[in-house]
Amino acid sequence: MTTATAEQRSFEADVSRLLHMMVHSVYSDRDVFLRELISNAADACEKLRYEAIAQPELLGEEPKLAITIEADAEAGRLVIADNGIGMSRDEMVEALGTIARSGTRSFMERITAADGKDGAQLIGQFGVGFYSAFMVAAEVEVVSRRAGSDEAWAWSSDGKGEFTVAPVALADAPVRGTRVTLRLMDDAKTYAERRTLERIVKEQSGHVPVSIALVEKPGAEPATLADGAALWTRPKSEISKDEYADFYRSVAGQYDEPAATIHFRAEGRHEYTALVFVPGARPFDLFDADRKGRIKLYVKRVFITDEAELMPRYLRFVRGIVDTADLPLNVSREMIQNSPLLGAIKKGVTSRILSDLAKLAGQDAEVFARIWENFGAVIKEGLYEDFERRAQLLDLSRFRTTASGEGWRSLKDYVGALKENQTAIYYIVGDDAGRIANSPQLEGFRARGIEVLLLSDPVDSFWVSAAPDFEGKPFKSVTQGAADLGLVPLLDGAAAPSAETSEQVGALLASMKEALADEVADVRASDRLTESAVCLVASDQGPDRQFERLLNAAGRIDSAAKPILEVNPRHAVVAALAAVEDGALRSDVAHLLLDTARVLDGERPANANAFAERLNRLVTRSIGEG
């Protein structure tokens, strides 16, 4: 039995200042102290598991490794105990008496030097996490007995500059391992309450490789908080659909079934495991302005953060976890360093999700259609933002078209159905799917059976301006420039749109251009109209009409460019107006036709009072003549 006496020593640092910094600056969330102490305990168990390979006797009569939390809310006392490797006196002084000297790191360096590889799954790296206990504790006591030793030691401190190391009777020490006792501050006594402990363990340490039990009061039966298992570490063949669904609900905070589950382990230069889900329903925060992802980052099965950008923003609906063993962290583990490994993980996980979605689209079109219905508008943001994967995303994308009815069409479907002499992929953009499907600009395309993409999501105006082509076919708006449909044959029985005009109609167009000079850039005969009298289109130069409206609303441009008014020379109204010689009547009808085109385009008449006055004059004249 040892006869050593208590020894009081100073920390090997300016501890009063350094601990103050630790408590008030390094960590922003007090909850983190429990994660850090559990991580240390899990590391101690993993160290023993490793050393017991060569020395099985170290396990003694307690082969099962475990962490126990003892809480006494009334006394303001919290204990975190493990039956891991424990510490000798010298190890205790070195590990706890020198801030930022990590025993875990020293151990890792030792075994790596011995066998040339990292053989233990250990968490601690910086030797500072233990001191987070002083965020909630007025005093901390550590009692430890190293496995195989007949000595036990106690370390205690109030975190203000000194610590005490003293021998402990074996009867007052664990059989092996470490017991950390916190005398909680008055404003931190909730950390000895069951509901608080359960919440923190579940959120941050529920998947460490050692079971965690809670004893609410001395002598009470322990309750299991975590079983030491992490679902994502198991082979996929051993995990049931129900287990995946339960884990999805726990990590996503949703109650639906996942539409797709993607579970894989990346090996090689960068090693990590990912278990992510595509939800079956839209998350409530899908269109939040910050567009943040919700993937949880774990390091060696310990939760680190859900703030790391592990997914591009156009995949922010994906839920799940990524667990890696070698991601570099800062001292608090709360902020991820700008690491090439993090970028590699993001790239790898994104590529895997997109490739699995592409496989799903080919294998189960119905399931993929539901995913696209929920998240297509978000995925298409990548067409504008992710140049590197634009071709892959275009191949994945689905669209409503003039030929799809209520279904979805891929661009491969579209290109496979191109008409004779068709050289472009045509689209129309607007904020109302029903209205754009009935736009007059589509009439000439329908007459030739040319399929047109109906794009009604806000992002559509942006990506079509950035995507140059698909399989060599450029994207072209049906509301911009000339239609150039003359080379595409008409369907049998279709009325022939024509831009040819009689001398009388030519004179009408000239007079309309003069009357509307302040509001339109040109008035011309249309080869795209078959039923309507007029429509508005944008010029060949500049943005599409809908894109221009969005830019104008956002203040990105001072004012919209003047549109072009296209007139159907075969329409009865146009033919009748061409025969009218009354200049005032021609002007009134010309302005009414322009306002009609605006309404068909989803806008309002430019001047409501002038519109009403012209309409009244025209109705009065018609009644009088009748």
Tens-place pLDDT, residues 415-427: 999 999 999 999 9
- Identify the pLDDT of residue 303: 84
CB 19 within 8 A of CB 134: yes
Topology agreement, domain 231-370 and domain 380-625: no
Query: Looking at the domain 380-625, which fold is it?
Result: Rossmann fold (3.40.50)
Confidence of residue 100 (pLDDT cuts 50, 70, 90): very low
Round to whole Å and give the CA distance between 215 and 208.
Answer: 19
Side by side, the strands of the sheet bearing 522-525 are 522-525, 564-567, 534-537
Mean pLDDT confidence for 373-395 = 95
CB 120 within 8 A of CB 42: no
Integer-rounded Cα radius of gyration of the chain? 36
Nearest to 36 by CA among 243, 383, 333, 435: 333
Binding residues: 36, 40, 82, 87, 102-103, 125-130, 178, 333
CB 30 within 8 A of CB 199: no
CB atoms within 10 A of CB 294: 18
Q: Is 387 helix (H, G, I), strand (E, B) or coil?
A: coil
CA distances from 24 to 17, 18, 131, 132 (A): 11, 10, 11, 9
For 57-73, the pLDDT digits (tens) are 999 888 999 999 999 99
- Superfamily (CATH) of domain 7-226: Histidine kinase-like ATPase, C-terminal domain (3.30.565.10)
Overall residue count recorded for the chain in this entry: 626
CA distances from 484 to 297, 493, 499 (A): 53, 20, 10
Q: Is 452 helix (H, G, I), strand (E, B) or coil?
A: strand
- Identify the pLDDT of residue 126: 41
**Sequence-distant (≥ 6) Cβ neighbours of residue 282 within 8 angstroms:** 317, 374, 375
For 427-466, the pLDDT digits (tens) are 999 888 888 999 999 999 999 999 999 999 989 988 988 8
Strands (E), 158-219: 162-168, 177-184, 211-215
Provide the terminal-to-terminal Cα distance of the chain, rounded to the nearest Å: 123
**Sequence-distant (≥ 6) Cβ neighbours of residue 191 within 8 angstroms:** 30, 33, 34, 78, 136, 182, 184, 197
Residue written as tokens 């190890």?
A: 91
- Identify the pLDDT of residue 178: 97
Residue written as tokens 């409530």?
A: 284
Round to whole Å and give the CA distance between 518 and 550.
Answer: 22
- Identify the pLDDT of residue 116: 54
Mean pLDDT confidence for 504-520 = 93
pLDDT at 275 over 90: yes
Mean pLDDT confidence for 289-308 = 85
Confidence of residue 217 (pLDDT cuts 50, 70, 90): confident
- Identify the pLDDT of residue 289: 76
The structure tokens listed for 509 are 């167009």
Mean pLDDT confidence for 579-601 = 92
Confidence of residue 467 (pLDDT cuts 50, 70, 90): confident
Round to whole Å and give the CA distance between 89 and 1.
Answer: 15
CB 184 within 8 A of CB 133: no
Q: Which region among 57-66, 320-329, 334-343, 532-541 has the lowest average model confidence (pLDDT)?
A: 334-343
Mean pLDDT confidence for 64-87 = 95
- Identify the pLDDT of residue 211: 94
Q: Which region among 233-237, 264-268, 548-552 has the lowest average model confidence (pLDDT)?
A: 548-552
pLDDT at 171 over 80: yes
- Identify the pLDDT of residue 519: 93
DSSP conformational letter for 259: S
DSSP conformational letter for 418: P
pLDDT at 626 over 70: no
pLDDT at 120 over 50: yes
Binding residues for ATP: 36, 40, 82, 87, 102-103, 125-130, 178, 333
- Identify the pLDDT of residue 330: 47
**Sequence-distant (≥ 6) Cβ neighbours of residue 433 within 8 angstroms:** 400, 454, 456
**Sequence-distant (≥ 6) Cβ neighbours of residue 539 within 8 angstroms:** 480, 481, 521, 561, 563, 564
pLDDT, greater one: 446 or 128: 446
Q: Which region among 120-124, 193-197, 442-446, 548-552 has the lowest average model confidence (pLDDT)?
A: 120-124
For 149-160, the pLDDT digits (tens) are 999 999 999 887
For 336-372, the pLDDT digits (tens) are 656 788 889 999 999 999 999 999 999 999 999 999 9
Query: Looking at the domain 231-370, which fold is it?
Result: Ribosomal Protein S5; domain 2 (3.30.230)
DSSP result, 295-307: EEEEETTEEEES-
pLDDT, greater one: 449 or 325: 449
pLDDT at 101 over 70: no
> Residues 159, 165, 169, 170: is their CA dihedral positive or negative?
positive
Mean pLDDT confidence for 196-209 = 91
Q: Which region among 118-122, 276-280, 507-511, 605-609 has the lowest average model confidence (pLDDT)?
A: 118-122
Domain ranges for the chain:
7-226, 231-370, 380-625
